[in-house]
Structure 1
Amino acid sequence: MRILIATDAWRPQVNGVVRSLESVAKALREQGAEVEFLTPQGFASVPLPTYSEIRLALASPKAVSNRLEGLDLDHIHIATEGPIGFAVRRCCLRARRSFTTSYHTRFPEYISARTWIPESLSYAVLRRFHNAGAGVMVSTASIANDLHGRGFQRLMHWSRGVDHNHFSPAKAAWTDLPRPIFLYAGRLAPEKNIEMFLKLDLPGSKVIAGDGPSRRALQAAFPQAHFLGAQSSEQLAVHYASSDVFVFPSRTDTFGMVLLEALASGLPVAALPVPGPLDVIGASGAGVLDQDLRAACLAALEIPREKARAHAMTYTWANSARQFLDNILLSKAGSRRMVPRPSF
């Protein structure tokens, strides 16, 4: 099967969407599929307002149609709701061609936090975008149930995996920081709720790995924390394995790839009981979910690293790729009825 994945999120961006797409593509190829990407590369671009690190491709439907022309494809999957995604969607609809989409990011909440645009308006746009396809791939049951309640149709389960060799307790290195070390890794932006973590009264050290529009303000407000800036994947693996608790204060993530990376590194998780952590951690005992994030951080110190690692081993990219392929086959079965309330 030859699959085209259209995505607005691509290198040099470093985030969970990019890592997920690259990893699942590798696993798909190992299972015999051919995977092509249509990305912003080769298009002019402009910076995303309020987040200049992300650039939006100036991709017209005509330019995208020219890129698609001549490609012998069995399926098109639209991964993101940006200019690339909208242009490919339009091309597919005009050609009466079936396609699937995936829901990676809670853009309505992010946009509402930064602008005057209400969540209801953004969700209306996204609902129209996704419901035009033959299926919407969603990573967790919590997000699927939320989207179902908002009128999204044909929801399909597509979980994630983690590289257990790359993210491993064996990567631990010596550090002279006072212990325990509480680590956050990810984008530094308002929607990530990092300030909640930094305000906690905790022993030891707080380490922040990552960059983003909030870094300068957070660094000025919390000079006692250790801000490392953007880190390579190899550096992140070392930080995970060398810390004592991974702190995930976000309330808006759809999954949280960093949760799996931390767990695979033997790092217990402290998080809020919200979608993402509820689905990934659940009742596994590999982390502590509590509205009192400080209590969760301190309790997570008691979790054996082996338990965190064992839970991460249940997530593989091979399984994720099989789910992806099964969803494509289901979408091609021709069912256009509304999927019942998600139960996965």
Structure 2
Amino acid sequence: MAESGGGLRLLMVSDAWTPQVNGVVRTLSTVSALLRRRGDAVEVVGPERFRTVPTPSYPEIRLAVRPRAALARMADAFAPTAVHVATEGPLGWAMRAICLARGWPFTTSFHTKFPEYLHARTGIPPRFAWAVLRRFHESGAGTFAATPSLREELALRGFTKVRAWTRGVDLDLFRPEPRDPWEGLPRPVFLYAGRVAVEKNIETFLRLDLPGSKVVVGDGPQRRALQARFRSAHFAGWRQGEALAAAYAGADVSVFPSRTDTFGLVILEAMACGTPVAAYPVTGPLDVIAGSGAGVLDEDLGRAAKAALECDRARCRAHAERYSWEACAEAFRQQLVPVRS
């Protein structure tokens, strides 16, 4: 992106922001911090600045109520040289409308296969949500997508402005040592890390016939029900920072049962800790794991999990070292578009 003066003034608008804990928040917060470190001014507007209501069936996530007027004032006060609309929630739609009304070009990013999530929760056919998402993103100047298979899928669904933007991993935080021994749990330890929600397909993981122990690190609306039904599994709750890294490193295999994620940052985090990943051969895992020797893909997830026990942990770490947050932030920055040319 061309710029003048002392650097970029980026306004980033996201319905996913702290205190939420998920891959979208982790990506946006990390990229924002790196851009600020290089001298850019970055203003992130999330739901915490507005009156909010809980998301139906997911009260931990709160949605801004009628944010457009206040959001417009915030945008004017900040005077951005670039605008990025990260999500398709109430804040995203409001910022999209503001940009269109003022003739400001903006970029978007595609983080979540929302049509499949909606279908999993409500049964609504995905084609309706895909039409809405296409309308949202096509009005911008570019849609950032993390993997080749996702970009190909979006193109097949009529998205015409898709741009590559991969992800990274904190290699200093996520490392093979120290390891949580998971004391008292029979080995091998198979670990799931992330939100405990229906779209993550965790029940499939918990139903697998595997030796040793199953561990769930995370929380969410499905935890109570799953914990009551699968009493042999160990539910460890949320872990962050060093505690999360030790949880990955102490596991023998990280199981990624989702079929709807667009990347899966937890895949890289586990690999950086030396832990191989078992997953379905779908968008995200296909791009990150296939051919790496750092995990196993199979439509039989149990077979993949058992086979992953044979992966070389040093090779897992080496594969993760190919992904840098610095490169992720720079690619993001270079593809932004100026509000005014």
TM above 0.5:
yes
- How many residue pairs match? The answer is 333
Partner residue, 2:144: 137
Q: Does 1:316 align with 2:316?
A: no
Q: Does 1:18 align with 2:25?
A: yes
Q: CA deviation at 1:59?
A: 3.7
Partner residue, 1:121: 128
Q: CA deviation at 1:332?
A: 7.8
What whole-Å deviation, never above 9, does each CA across 1:33-81 have from its counterpart, x for those lacking one?
2211111122110000111111101143212111111323110000000
Partner residue, 2:158: 151
Q: CA deviation at 1:217?
A: 1.5
Contact 2:81 2:340 in 1 (8 A): no
> Which letter does structure 2 place at the counterpart of 1:113?
A
Aligned residues: CA RMSD: 1.5
- Percent identity between the aligned chains? 54
What whole-Å deviation, never above 9, does each CA across 1:152-175 have from its counterpart, x for those lacking one?
121000000010011111121333
Partner residue, 1:227: 235
> Which letter does structure 2 place at the counterpart of 1:13?
Q
Partner residue, 1:247: 255
Q: CA deviation at 1:96?
A: 0.3
d(CA) in 2 for partners of 1:117, 1:299: 36
> Which letter does structure 2 place at the counterpart of 1:298?
K
Q: Does 1:95 align with 2:74?
A: no
Q: CA deviation at 1:190?
A: 1.2
Q: CA deviation at 1:333?
A: 11
1:78 to 85, 91, 111: 85
Q: CA deviation at 1:115?
A: 1.3
Q: Please, what TM-score do these two structures have when normalized by structure 1? A: 0.94
d(CA) in 2 for partners of 1:72, 1:56: 25
d(CA) in 2 for partners of 1:29, 1:282: 34
* CA spacing shift, 1:277–1:142, aligned 2, 3 Å: same
Partner residue, 2:292: 284
Mapping for residues 119-268 of structure 1, pairs under 5 Å: 119-176=126-183, 177-268=185-276
Runs of 4+ in 1 over 6 A off after TM superposition: 331-334
Partner residue, 2:48: 41
Q: CA deviation at 1:31?
A: 3.1
Q: Please, what TM-score do these two structures have when normalized by structure 2? A: 0.95
1:61 to 64, 68, 74: 68
d(CA) in 1 for partners of 2:148, 2:115: 19
Contact 2:80 2:339 in 1 (8 A): no
Contact 2:147 2:287 in 1 (8 A): yes
d(CA) in 1 for partners of 2:68, 2:102: 12
1:271 to 267, 279, 283: 279
* CA spacing shift, 1:175–1:61, aligned 2, 3 Å: closer
Q: CA deviation at 1:328?
A: 1.3
